[in-house]
Amino acid sequence: MCGIVAYLGSREAYPILIKGLHRLEYRGYDSAGVAVINEAGDLNIYKAVGKVANLEQVAAGHDCSGTIGIAHTRWATHGVPNEANAHPHLSQSGELTMVHNGIIENASPLRNQLKEKGFTFRSDTDTEVLLQLIEYTQKKHGVDLVCAVRSSLKKVIGAYAIAVIDRKDPGTLVAARKGSPLAVGLGEANCEFFLASDASPLAGYTNKVVYINDEEVVELRRGEEPAITNLNADKVDVRAKEIDIDVNMLDKGGFPHFMLKEIFDQPAVLRDCMRGRLLPSHHRIILSAVTEHREELIHARRFIMVSCGTSWHAALIGKQLIEQFCRIPVEVAYASEFRYSDPVVGPGDVVFALSQSGETADTLSAIQLASERGAMVFGIVNAVGSSIARASDTGTYIHVGPEIGVASTKAFTGQTTVLTMLALAIGWEKGTVSESLYLEALEALEQIPDQIARILEKDDEIKALAQEYVDKRHFLYLGRGMNYPVALEGALKLKEISYIHAEGYPAAEMKHGPIALVDEDMPVVFLATHHNLYEKIISNMQEVVSRKGKVLAIVSEGDTVVKGIAQHVIEVPHTPNYLCPLVSVIPLQLLAYHIAVAKGLNVDQPRNLAKSVTVE
Ligand code: G6P
């Protein structure tokens, strides 16, 4: 998740690039950079760690002139966020420079091949590898830039949106995409070009846009109309569209709130999270942390998961997955409690830190303590290069892109996805998961993004339902087994953004207290998907209905039994039991969102909360 911008035309490029970067900052903001070729043919590159504002400070007072340039705002994947890893990258000769959004999965073997041919590398990034490959191809075969780009892209596996320019040819900009978005805005006489990861940087300049498709390469030449080809150099029609961009919604990718955007991001980002790791066609899950620390993991005495908030709910799911697939005992602790509990922890234990931001103070202190006492620390973090990532001995990033809405959504499903892959990978190495179950799980996990996309189609239905619950003061959320943490998460989402009091419980516990609260004014949300304990959930539901409670149930597609009991049902696709949280949580995210919007509340920045809690 990075943002790229490029310009070629007759205006000064730098202000257009900087404005575009600000609009794409929601895509990542751990470093930024810009490259511009001036009238004299000099290539000037400026980079800074952190936000685009830092880049502006670095570039201030230097030569930023020129009518062609490329720029980037980064969400680190390969390599920590520092200046060397920031884009634009420079080729070996210093002639080509490139920005990239995506992940080149075979960067490591390509890097080795290029090293053998005498190439050296200034950064740890996959981007620099692709750029050097383009330069190698260009020089070896004496071809022009667009040919070199096409032929290099045929050799890479992974996702990319790239923009590359050549100091020796300041009238040409070449760009391409596969898997990562790319739009070209057509300015004056179709010969002025604005290129970006989404259409937002184009606003105010042009409303004529060409969306580049996968495996297409666009060549933009000064004074000429754009030329698009596929990787085999066959010509592709240029399909320009008129679009209407509301400048106020720009950073949210067209959604009214970051939270809704992030809920809708889930199919795409979970594919990113699994890319290069879940390989059903090879019958494998490959997580480098498991490969590198195989022995410590399979022989661990026990696992302990420390985290806070939504990440703690993901940990409760992780416990069930690991115990089922790996038969290793797992404890789940609130990081804030763990750190002050004089915990019995030491060598032979693996402590997992789950954190979206990677900066939560309690979680960081908990792992520092565990580390001091000799445990191995395994980070499951979204923010690359964050404090928790750096303080961990090893880990697996969730790679779901920046999460800006305070109420966590895609990070939760990303953590759950990583925990599932982790449990399966360790279980496979340990021999505690059967081959048939392992293969079934790989295939089923691969289906999850499409299944989530199908649930998102019910957004209007859930929005309409939300209106019926706006005036309620209290909610109960009930689930069992894998759906119990989902009940907790559904309740947390609702209270965080709608300020309605909500409690999550294991459904069977209801009769030990919470049932006293049930009356006609108490909505009870049941997680009643078709999994083990389904019949028992139905009994719990009957107990609520017979006390006049109003039931909203999340059920599996085609369920007829619950329809006869509950006031409202929302259907989700069938999954194996161990994957049900990934689908059953989605309607609860949408329900909380729509209730909060209907109440007129600030969904993205709810009162009293913060996205990254760096204090105790
Ligand atoms: C804050 C956020 C929550 C988040 C929790 C843990 O309370 O508002 O959304 O779940 O911190 O954050 P982490 O970044 O460690 O996952």
- What is the 3 state secondary structure string of 90-116? ECCCCCEEEEEECCECCHHHHHHHHHH
Taking the C-alpha atoms of residue 590 and residue 21, their distance in angstroms, rounded to an integer, is 30
Residues with CB under 6 A from ligand 1: 308-311, 355-357, 360, 363, 406-408, 609, 611-613
Question: Taking residues 327-348, what's their average pLDDT?
Answer: 96
Residue nearest to atom 13 of ligand 1 (CA): 355
Among 85-99, 190-204, 477-491, 540-554, whose mean pLDDT is lowest?
190-204
CA atoms of 213 and 498, how far apart (whole Å): 39
Tell me the C-alpha distance between 594 and 597, whole Å: 5
What's the Cα-to-Cα distance from 320 to each of 278, 288, 480, 485, rounded to whole Å? 20, 22, 12, 10
Mean pLDDT across 598-614: 81
Selected residue with higher pLDDT from 258 and 390: 258
Residue nearest (by alpha carbon) to ligand 1 atom 5: 309
Q: How is 38-64 classified by DSSP, letter by letter?
A: -TTS-EEEEEEESSHHHHHHHHTTS--
Determine the distance separating the centroid of ligand 1 and the alpha carbon of 516, expressed in angstroms: 31
How crowded is residue 611: how many other Cβ atoms within 10 Å of its Cβ?
Answer: 15
In tens, the pLDDT along 501-547 reads 999 999 999 889 988 899 989 999 999 999 878 989 999 999 999 99
Q: Residues 6 or more apart from 126 whose CB is under 8 A from it?
A: 77, 78, 100, 103, 104, 107, 158
Query: Which of 174, 189, 200 shows the shortest CA–CA distance to 240?
Result: 189
Pocket-testing residue among 352, 356, 381, ligand 1, by greatest number of atoms within 8 A of Cβ: 356
Q: How many CB atoms within 10 Å of residue 7?
A: 31
How remote is the CA of residue 614 from the centroid of ligand 1, in Å? 10
- From 263, 306, 307, 310, give the residue whose CB has the most ligand 1 atoms within 8 Å, as the site to mutate: 310
CA nearest to 33, candidates 2, 66, 1? 2
- For residue 311, give the ligand 1 atom closest to its CA: 16
Q: What is the dihedral of CA 383, 386, 388, 389, to 10 degrees?
A: 70
pLDDT at residue 611 in the model: 65
| pLDDT at residue 145 is higher than 90 | yes
Local confidence band at 230 (pLDDT 50, 70, 90 cut-offs): very high
| Ligand 1 geometric centre to CA of 408 (Å) | 7
- Tell me: pLDDT of 235 over 90: yes
Euclidean distance between CA atoms 522 and 516, whole angstroms: 11
CB < 8 Å & 24+ apart, contacts of 108-113: 110/155, 110/156
Average pLDDT, the chain: 93
Average pLDDT of the segment spanning 157-186: 92
Angle between helices 107-116 and 126-141 (to 10 degrees): 50
pLDDT above 70 as % of the chain: 97
Which mutation among 258, 360, 380, 604 tests ligand 1's pocket best, with the greatest number of atoms within 8 A of CB? Answer: 360
Tokens, residue 80: 């920590």
248 vs 207: which has the higher pLDDT: 207
Q: Catalytic site residues?
A: 2, 611
What separation in Å is there between the alpha carbon of 495 and the centre of ligand 1? 14
- Helical residues (DSSP H) of 251-308, grouped into ranges: 258-274, 288-292, 294-298
Q: Is the pLDDT of residue 179 over 80?
A: no
**Residue whose CA is closest, atom 4 of ligand 1?**
309
Amino acid at residue number 30: D
Cα 438 to ligand 1 centroid, rounded to whole Å: 31
Q: Is the pLDDT of residue 249 over 50?
A: no
DSSP state of 21: H
Which residue is associated with the tokens 């019949």? 535
Structure confidence by residue, pLDDT tens digits, 343-392: 999 999 999 999 998 888 899 999 999 999 999 999 999 977 677 988 99
Task: Please answer whether residues 23 and 200 qualify as being in contact, where contact means their C-beta atoms are separated by less than 8 angstroms.
Answer: yes
- Residue 277: which of 115, 451, 424, 135 has the closest Cα? 424
Count of CA atoms in the C-beta half-sphere (13 A) of 490: 31
| Weakest-pLDDT range from 240-244, 504-508, 572-576 | 240-244
Residue with tokens 């606003």: 203
What is the CA(476)–ligand 1 centre distance, in A? 22
DSSP annotation of 158: B
For residue 200, pLDDT beyond 80:
no
- 461 has pLDDT over 90: yes
Higher pLDDT, 50 or 426: 426
Nearest 10 degrees: Cα torsion 545, 551, 555, 560: 50
Sheet holding 96-101, edge to edge: 89-90, 96-101, 160-166, 169-178, 216-221, 227-230, 235-236
Tell me which residue has its CA closest to atom 7 in ligand 1: 309
DSSP state of 257: S
Query: Distance (Å, rounded) from C-alpha 375 to C-alpha 348?
Result: 6
* Ligand 1 atom nearest residue 496's Cα: 8
Give backbone dihedrals phi and psi of 51, rounded to 5 degrees, phi first. -75, 170
